[in-house]
Structure 1
Amino acid sequence: MLNSTKVLALCGSLRAKSSNKGLLRYAQANAPEGMSIEIANLADIPFYNSDITDTPASVTALLAQFAAADAFIFAGPEYNYSISPALKNAIDWASRAPNNALLGGKAAAIMGAGGGMGTSRAQYHLRQVFVFTDIHPLNKPEVFANAFSGQFDADGNLIDEKIQENVKAQLAALATWSQQLRK
């Protein structure tokens, strides 16, 4: 059995005190044994444009992170009932590799903090994007958090024990799912 899982975590919010970054920071600090989580920086990634012939250094670095990852965690707010532009843009850049080589066949967990429905629509749309990219999302457990109901502190850190337990359970399931896909 494989003994380690290298995870690339991507946050669809670029705000420093984002509750979605708080979810990822909590996941990183509480990863199960054998799992390492690297949080990508999407702040300098330009919008995908096929006319760009010289790949920017920030994109080259991100693509290397995608390539090195065994699995992914996607966290993001819900913008207009859908995926945030920063998260979709990162996927768009990575999906341009031939045959989705950077993404295809890899496991992914989805989590999000937002309004009353906790990013459920954005998470559903992300699953639709995964059909094309051949990313294999976990079905359960799901992580939905309300960013405005005391589940996070003023700095965006996750403080709700129930959501913390959900994140830990999702990480354990991601490790198992990723290992199954890599056999």
Structure 2
Amino acid sequence: MSNITLLGLSGALRRASANRQLIREAARLFGTADLTEADLNLPLYDGDLEEGEGIPEAVQHLAAQIAQADAVVISTPEYNKGPSGVLKNALDWVSRTSGTPWADKPVAVMSAAAGRAGGERAQMVLRSFLVPFQSRLLSGPELHLADCRNQFDAEGRLISAPYTKTLQVLMDKLRVEVTR
């Protein structure tokens, strides 16, 4: 398979967030692939909005990106022991689109958080959010990047060998799923 397309979904909207950096590092370790970073700055899900105006164009675009990607890499921060509202909102909106963009899609999940658990609880909850979509969610290895603000060098590369090794194994497994 040539020109593998990875879609990155960051649960943080900040351009310089550790979760965006982690997605970029995952793509680098994945190897030859085209990375697209999805825009999750969507309106809050509102049934009245959906009924009155339909699915927003930005949501339709996101669903199309998911459908067209060969694999999806998701990274979430942990807010109050769960994934970000930004990420949950995007998942809720995409679930309202026609078709099944997530079906049988290889998906790797990771988390980056300031705390010492590295977003472990957020990642566990996120995994449960993905179950209804019937994607090919990788079971591991799990990457919970703790103290995330201090884990990247000036070029955006992970500085910790154990984290880098875990991310490499996860990306190797994702590549196998893509070519399966």
Per the normalisation by structure 2, the TM-score is 0.85
Counting only pairs closer than 5 Å after superposition, residues 170-181 of structure 1 correspond to structure 2 as 170-180=170-180
Moved more, 155-164 or 81-90: 155-164
In structure 1, what is the Cα distance between the partners aligned to 2:149 and 2:40? 27
Q: Is the 8 A contact 2:60 2:97 kept in 1?
A: no
Please give the alpha-carbon distance, in whole angstroms, between the structure 1 residues aligned to 2:34 and 2:174: 12
Which residue pairs with 1:55 in the alignment?
Answer: 55
Aligned length: 176
CA separation of 1:148 and 1:23: change in aligned 2, threshold 3 A? closer
User: What is the CA–CA distance in structure 2 between the aligned matches of 1:97 and 1:112, rounded to whole Å?
Assistant: 26
Deviation at 1:148, TM superposition (A): 4.7
The alpha-carbon deviation at position 109 of structure 1 amounts to 0.5
Which of 20, 40, 43 lines up with 1:42 in the alignment?
A: 40
In structure 2, how many angstroms separate the alpha carbons of the residues matched to 1:163 and 1:90?
Answer: 27
Equivalent position amino acid for 2:176 in 1: T
Q: Which residue of 2 aligns with 1:124?
A: 124
Larger relative contact order (CA 8 Å, sep ≥ 6): 1
Q: What TM-score comes out, normalization by structure 1 length?
A: 0.84
Q: Is the 8 A contact 1:104 1:133 kept in 2?
A: yes
CA distance in 2, matches of 1:79, 1:136: 25
Kept after mapping to 2: 8 A contact 1:141/1:169: yes
CA drift at 1:42: 1.6
Structure 1 segments (4+ residues) deviating >6 Å: none
- Assess, with a 3 A threshold, how the Cα gap between structure 1 residues 41 and 149 changes in structure 2: closer, same or farther: closer
Map 1:11-30 → 2, pairs under 5 A: 11-30=10-29
CA-to-aligned-CA distance 1:128-178 (integer Å, 9 cap, x gap): 112211122111222111135732358976332322222222111011123
Provide the secondary structure at the position in 1 that maps to 2:47: coil
What are the Cα deviations for residues 35-70 of structure 1, in whole angstroms up to 9, with x where unaligned? 332111223x11122222243332232222112112
Structure 1: gaps of 5 or more residues: none
* Cα separation, partners in 2 of 1:156 and 1:3, compared to 1, 3 Å: closer
CA deviation profile, 1:14-49 (whole Å, cap 9, x unmatched)? 12221111101212333323x332111223x11122
Give the percent of matched residue pairs that are identical in Structure 1 and Structure 2. Answer: 34
Question: Secondary structure at the residue paired with 1:79?
Answer: coil
Higher helix share: 2
1:18–1:155 CA contact under 8 A, matched in 2: no
Inter-CA distance 5–121: structure 2 relative to 1 (3 Å threshold): same
Bigger mean CA deviation after superposition, 15-24 or 142-151: 142-151
Whether the 8 Å contact between 2:118 and 2:148 is mirrored in structure 1 is no
